[in-house]
Amino acid sequence: MDSEVASTNASADIHLEINDRQQQIIEDFAMFSDWSERYQYLIDLGKKIRDFPAQYRNAEHLLKGCQSQVFIATQVHDQRLKIHAISDSSIVSGLIALALQVFDEQSCAAIASAEVRFIDGIGLGSNLSMTRKNGLNSLLARIKQDAAQGAAAL
């Protein structure tokens, strides 16, 4: 196998787990027949977010671009991005839970170059208010930015 083919295969492999995780979210949301059930599921997911470290509850870790209060902290370890995030809003907490499900503990390179498709795949793009959509976009942009910085540092 030549190096170009090997490089292409490696590039495809790093997205496999992220794509699998996104597909699982799409399948999970497909089980619900209407948006009231989907919102309740989103709220339930948000209740399961692990505790947020107290030392990160400060202005430095406050996510800009969100109407709700969202704190986020990331660390790179072994080329993987560890994400901690929390919100004071139950729906936003659910959105955070989805982002964590897809990106937490994934390789920085995979996150930085991943195509985010679960949002449209479950219909969130057309069912969130503009302020929540902006907040979700800010969260995803921050995760991808931190991942890109982590990948560049390697």
Note the pLDDT of residue 16. 66
Q: Where are the alpha helices (DSSP H) in 67-129?
A: 90-103, 108-113, 118-121, 124-127
Chain segment 87-119, per-residue pLDDT in tens: 999 999 999 999 999 999 999 999 999 999 999
- State residue 153's pLDDT score: 85
Q: Which residues are catalytic?
A: 66
Domain 3-152 architecture: Alpha-Beta Complex (3.90)
Residues 61 and 72 sit within 8 Å (Cβ to Cβ): yes
pLDDT of 13-62, one tens digit each? Answer: 555 699 999 999 999 999 999 999 999 999 999 999 988 999 999 999 99
Q: Measure the CA–CA gap between 107 and 115, rounded to whole angstroms.
A: 14
The per-residue pLDDT for 7 is 36
Could you tell me the pTM of the whole model? 0.88
Measured CA to CA, the distance from residue 122 to residue 114 in angstroms comes to 17
Cα 130 to Cα 12: distance, rounded to the nearest angstrom:
33
Higher-confidence residue: 131 or 3? 131
Q: Give the C-alpha separation, 69 to 49, whole Å.
A: 15
